[in-house]
Structure 1
Amino acid sequence: MASPAPIPTPTGSVAGPRARLTVPVLAYCGILMAVMQTVVVPLLPDLPRLTGASPGAVSWMVTASLLSGAVLTPVLGRAGDMYGKRRVLLLSFGLMAAGSVICALTSDIGVLIAARALQGAASCVVPLSISILRDELPPARRGSAVALMSSTVGIGAALGLPAAAVVVQYANWHVMFWVTAALGVTGLALIRWTVPESPVREPGGFDVTGALGLAAGLICLLLAVSQGGQWGWGSARVIGLLLGAAVVLGLWWRQQLRTARPLVDLRLVSRPRVGLSHVAALLTGFAFYANSLVTAQLVQTPEATGYGLGLSIVQTGLCLLPGGLTMLLFSPVSARMSEARGPRVTLALGAAVIASGYAVRIADSRELWMIMVGATVVATGTTLAYSALPALILRAVPAGQTASANGVNVLMRTIGQAVSSAAVAAVLVHHTSLVGGAPVPTLHGYLLTFGVAGAVALAACAVALTIPGDRKPEGTRRARGRTPSVNDEAMEGA
């Protein structure tokens, strides 16, 4: 398939009644993608009974979307840079809606897992949308829009859990997937109606070998990380997968350096501004995800333990809701902070705020209001960090590679979340006590998890501070009468 001729200049052309809806429509799509990832969580305890499958098989309802999302995000990001971001965005959202319809029509665990893998394609929505916003919005609107788009991951996760819990508690579980299917079809219609196709393209052929190599390596890596607790970290399967991942990704790295038009420009990744931003994304993803995982388990722990609150899944979702609303409110604050001080400072501050939130969790995890305060502080720090990451990437890469570069950044967040899930499970499994004959994580186990996540957040802060300093904010240059160009942005990481 011949690649379209490149058009190197972003248009900044979003105008008119329909075009003004571009930002809220893309934000809606990002939130819905995150909701899709979390809707199965309230179902997991009941799915073995509902589907007749084992708990191990049911866990693949989460693993399948994680794996497909991690593999497809950089691949579809590169395809968007080459063939049109709006076109690929429609494809990924269509796959998500199709997966929801299939889940709504079946109770067969094999079909459900395959459908969830289809839904994972929507993970590329955020990097593609951020790239569209860079290409289409004028600089004055770009910062706040990108910050909001990046925050939709946390907003959707916080909104999706209580909404799904209500559906599961008061309706047939298939209704939940009919709802997400309807919302997905609505998103498709809104994208077609309001989102323009970006004229910025990256020339060259699609690196099929690189895509297959990256897919194989990531599947081996994430499969070992996500299933290590269940299969045993010393088992032959896990060790074999980790060794396979190391070999495949090593060969893939060599192939990418030798390819004229690689799937991932590793020379660009090797630039300190880009590479360190990816490391910070991995660490921030780890720190953020532990908050949701541990809070949900802690507040549902039986009251007989002396520290648990025994909340229902609906009440648990409501405990996380303030964090989602905070992310929505703080995204424009993050954008203004990045414009004034630079995204590097915002990223470092966000990571430090995450660490302070975990300090609150360690200080008191018995009172509900303190749990909610600590979780909300972590969410606030996540907003600052997640909003700053794409701003760093946009300033450091050429316009024609924004979708693929942000796709890699989102991939690093995903890997961080997968490692966080495995680490949390490992810590809590090794710190349990019997309550009513059943093993329950101890308070010490929860506090240790908070300590680990806080330490990782501090590491993210340290990495952020080593990123080369930002150039003058765009608004400063405009005040001097000069409009920033694509070449300015492309040379930023050089």
Structure 2
Amino acid sequence: MSQALAQDEGSGALPGGSLPDEELPDEEPLAEVLEPGRRTGPVVAVLAATGIVVSLAQTLVVPIIASLPEIFRTDASNTSWIITVTLLVGAIATPVTGRLGDLYGKKKLLLVAIVPFIVGSVVCALSTTVGPMIVGRGLQGLGTGMIPLGISVLHDVLPKDKAGSAIALMSASMGIGGALGLPLAAAVSEYADWRVLFWATGAAAVLAFLAILFVLPVHDPRGHHRGFDHAGTLGLAVGLAALLLSVSKGAEWGWGSGLTVGGFVVAVVVLLAWGWYELRHRHPLVDLRTTVRPVVLLTNVASIFVGFAMYAMNLILPQVMEYPVELGFGLGQSMLGMGLWMAPTGLAMMAVSAPGARISRTRGPKVTLAVAGAVIAVGYGICALVLGTLGNRDLGPADSTTVLWTLVLLALGATVVGCGIGFAFGSMPALIMSSVPAHEKAAANGFNSLMRSLGTTSSAAVIAVVLAQLVQQVQGRTVPTVSGFIVSLAIGCGGALVALVLALAIPGNPGRGQSAGH
């Protein structure tokens, strides 16, 4: 086995530089592993709660987006960075945090990563101008990598029969936090000062730090003899920043503008050079030879489309629910009301973690991912049918019964999508960890999370373009048409179906009979 490890570390003796499935390295011993007789609940609860706290940063400012220019006395283009910077920093930090966890110990990196999140929350709470607010949001983004890192911890320390459902829950925590955080943030914004949002998340993160410190088992550092790839980290950061900025800001800058096109060109050139460098580096940040293994490659590509489908729903339905009924198709909900109608989506992600793990254990995570794609597509179909029916009517304030039933059916469709997302988020780490060497599990999970982030960013750009093109003038306002929302739902449904096809194309049935890669 040591010979196999040596080959994987860069000798190039094996074709393609990767290990055959049957020669994947065994797990290295940890300083403390939970025995089957010990309680696993506290460990799962701490990591899942930490993931939800960190993911709150994604939706924390949604209720106050429209008010940000007034709050900070600047224009909307400046305040848009309050959202964009968290995405950028999180995308870059995720694979880096995973790699550092593999090298120096996962518990240690969890404690390190949550500190800037705490500091960022305090900075945001104290900010009176947009500059410090952007800095604070960037610091919060550094905590994003804790979720894939937590998945790897659960894989390492839990018994096989407990790991699957726990990993599914931890993986879905980003979606759960986003869905549940929306009504919470809306309620706080409506009834209290917006700064309470950041004081509360900062306090929750402090509690999470203490819980990680005292509850999680101690890990021995893994792979400390392998150097950290500083040049690869810089190259990935520059390439991702150029790509994500161009995608997320393209609509604002203009898709044909020199800034957007130049960003895409820089991204392509830098990422190609980064890939060339990584393939030749002895201890790369991301082992690209591992990522092109069919199971890993297809899972990562499917993750892009799952992330796309997840975020598209969060972009479409809230708008429909919040538009005034007087426009003829809106449902007249407040931010808080919309958040409460969307909250079951997050609860559904949480509820399906155990059933999804059972499917993965008995049928294989490939099957779970395929089921996820089908379920997400069905949820989108329900919402599209409901909006299609709504588009044939001209709602008014007197149609309260129709509005209520429309809200119920849209919430049902969103909940079905949430079930599919929960299945997908549980199956993807299982597929990844059943197919990569032990010393790369955290880094591979981080890269998989990065793929989901690319999906969500692309989703925001694509849906924004669709809704900006299919518009109408209603009572002096330019608003999307019902057809625009239906087309957007069809695109989200298409993304789910692509994920289904990719899942079916995964060779064999990796991970069947295992618990998330054990």
What is the TM-score of this pair, normalised by structure 2? 0.89
In the alignment, the residues of structure 2 paired with residue 23 and residue 62 of structure 1 have an alpha-carbon distance, to the nearest angstrom, of: 29
Q: 2:227 aligns with which of 205, 224, 234?
A: 205
Equivalent residue runs for 1:362-377 within 5 Å:
362-365=384-387, 366=390, 367-377=406-416
Matched position secondary structure for 1:364: helix
2:73 corresponding residue in structure 1 = 52
After superposition, give the CA deviation of every residue in 1:313-363 in whole Å (9 maximum; x if it has no partner). Answer: 000100111111111111111001100110001001101111111111111
In the alignment, the residues of structure 2 paired with residue 468 and residue 53 of structure 1 have an alpha-carbon distance, to the nearest angstrom, of: 53
Cα distance change of structure 1 residues 256 and 31 upon mapping to structure 2, 3 Å threshold: same
Q: 1:186 aligns with which of 194, 207, 223?
A: 207
Q: 1:439 aligns with which of 454, 472, 478?
A: 478
Equivalent residue runs for 1:400-439 within 5 Å:
400-439=439-478
In the alignment, the residues of structure 1 paired with residue 511 and residue 212 of structure 2 have an alpha-carbon distance, to the nearest angstrom, of: 34
What is the TM-score of this pair, normalised by structure 1? 0.93
After superposition, give the CA deviation of every residue in 1:260-312 in whole Å (9 maximum; x if it has no partner). Answer: 00000000001001111100101110011101111111111121221111111
In the alignment, the residues of structure 2 paired with residue 347 and residue 397 of structure 1 have an alpha-carbon distance, to the nearest angstrom, of: 18
After superposition, give the CA deviation of every residue in 1:433-454 in whole Å (9 maximum; x if it has no partner). Answer: 1223121111000000000110
In the alignment, the residues of structure 2 paired with residue 399 and residue 200 of structure 1 have an alpha-carbon distance, to the nearest angstrom, of: 13
2:323 corresponding residue in structure 1 = 301
CA apart distance, 1:471:
4.4
Task: Tell whether 2:49 aligns with 1:28.
Answer: yes
Matched position secondary structure for 2:473: strand
Q: 2:173 aligns with which of 128, 152, 155?
A: 152
After superposition, give the CA deviation of every residue in 1:62-117 in whole Å (9 maximum; x if it has no partner). Answer: 10000000001001110110011111111111111110000011121011001101
1:3 corresponding residue in structure 2 = none
In the alignment, the residues of structure 2 paired with residue 126 and residue 470 of structure 1 have an alpha-carbon distance, to the nearest angstrom, of: 25
In the alignment, the residues of structure 2 paired with residue 18 and residue 391 of structure 1 have an alpha-carbon distance, to the nearest angstrom, of: 22
What is the identity, as a one-letter code, of the residue corresponding to 2:127?
A: T
What is the identity, as a one-letter code, of the residue corresponding to 1:469?
A: G
Q: 2:105 aligns with which of 84, 104, 118?
A: 84
In the alignment, the residues of structure 2 paired with residue 431 and residue 473 of structure 1 have an alpha-carbon distance, to the nearest angstrom, of: 45
Counterpart contact for 2:327–2:475, Cα < 8 Å: no
Cα distance change of structure 1 residues 105 and 25 upon mapping to structure 2, 3 Å threshold: same
Counterpart contact for 1:284–1:382, Cα < 8 Å: yes
Cα distance change of structure 1 residues 11 and 145 upon mapping to structure 2, 3 Å threshold: farther
Runs of at least 5 residues in structure 2 that lack an aligned partner in the other structure = 1-25, 391-405
Q: State the identity as a percent.
A: 43
In the alignment, the residues of structure 2 paired with residue 439 and residue 201 of structure 1 have an alpha-carbon distance, to the nearest angstrom, of: 56
Equivalent residue runs for 1:92-131 within 5 Å:
92-131=113-152
In the alignment, the residues of structure 2 paired with residue 11 and residue 362 of structure 1 have an alpha-carbon distance, to the nearest angstrom, of: 52
Q: 1:457 aligns with which of 471, 496, 513?
A: 496
1:492 corresponding residue in structure 2 = none
In the alignment, the residues of structure 2 paired with residue 109 and residue 472 of structure 1 have an alpha-carbon distance, to the nearest angstrom, of: 47
Counterpart contact for 1:42–1:168, Cα < 8 Å: yes
In the alignment, the residues of structure 2 paired with residue 54 and residue 113 of structure 1 have an alpha-carbon distance, to the nearest angstrom, of: 14
Aligned residues: 474
In the alignment, the residues of structure 2 paired with residue 112 and residue 275 of structure 1 have an alpha-carbon distance, to the nearest angstrom, of: 37
Matched position secondary structure for 1:204: coil
In the alignment, the residues of structure 1 paired with residue 219 and residue 368 of structure 2 have an alpha-carbon distance, to the nearest angstrom, of: 28
After superposition, give the CA deviation of every residue in 1:177-206 in whole Å (9 maximum; x if it has no partner). Answer: 111111111110111010123236124100
Q: 1:265 aligns with which of 278, 287, 312?
A: 287
Runs of at least 5 residues in structure 1 that lack an aligned partner in the other structure = 1-5, 477-483, 490-494
Matched position secondary structure for 1:393: helix
Counterpart contact for 2:55–2:174, Cα < 8 Å: yes
Counterpart contact for 1:323–1:375, Cα < 8 Å: yes
In the alignment, the residues of structure 2 paired with residue 208 and residue 317 of structure 1 have an alpha-carbon distance, to the nearest angstrom, of: 42
Counterpart contact for 1:274–1:396, Cα < 8 Å: yes
Task: Tell whether 2:375 aligns with 1:353.
Answer: yes
What is the identity, as a one-letter code, of the residue corresponding to 2:149?
A: L
What is the identity, as a one-letter code, of the residue corresponding to 2:328?
A: G
Counterpart contact for 2:54–2:144, Cα < 8 Å: yes
Equivalent residue runs for 1:217-296 within 5 Å:
217-296=239-318
Counterpart contact for 1:12–1:135, Cα < 8 Å: no
Cα distance change of structure 1 residues 475 and 130 upon mapping to structure 2, 3 Å threshold: closer
1:480 corresponding residue in structure 2 = none
In the alignment, the residues of structure 1 paired with residue 514 and residue 284 of structure 2 have an alpha-carbon distance, to the nearest angstrom, of: 34
Counterpart contact for 1:200–1:400, Cα < 8 Å: no
CA apart distance, 1:474:
3.6
What is the identity, as a one-letter code, of the residue corresponding to 1:232?
A: G
Q: 2:419 aligns with which of 380, 394, 398?
A: 380
Counterpart contact for 1:136–1:198, Cα < 8 Å: no
Cα distance change of structure 1 residues 10 and 474 upon mapping to structure 2, 3 Å threshold: farther
Q: 1:13 aligns with which of 33, 36, 61?
A: 33
What is the identity, as a one-letter code, of the residue corresponding to 2:472?
A: S
Q: Which moved more, 1:251-260 or 1:169-178?
A: 169-178
CA apart distance, 1:410:
0.2
After superposition, give the CA deviation of every residue in 1:26-50 in whole Å (9 maximum; x if it has no partner). Answer: 0000111111211111110001111
In the alignment, the residues of structure 1 paired with residue 111 and residue 308 of structure 2 have an alpha-carbon distance, to the nearest angstrom, of: 29
Q: What is the alpha-carbon root mean square deviation over aligned residues? A: 1.7
In the alignment, the residues of structure 2 paired with residue 245 and residue 394 of structure 1 have an alpha-carbon distance, to the nearest angstrom, of: 29
In the alignment, the residues of structure 1 paired with residue 29 and residue 269 of structure 2 have an alpha-carbon distance, to the nearest angstrom, of: 39
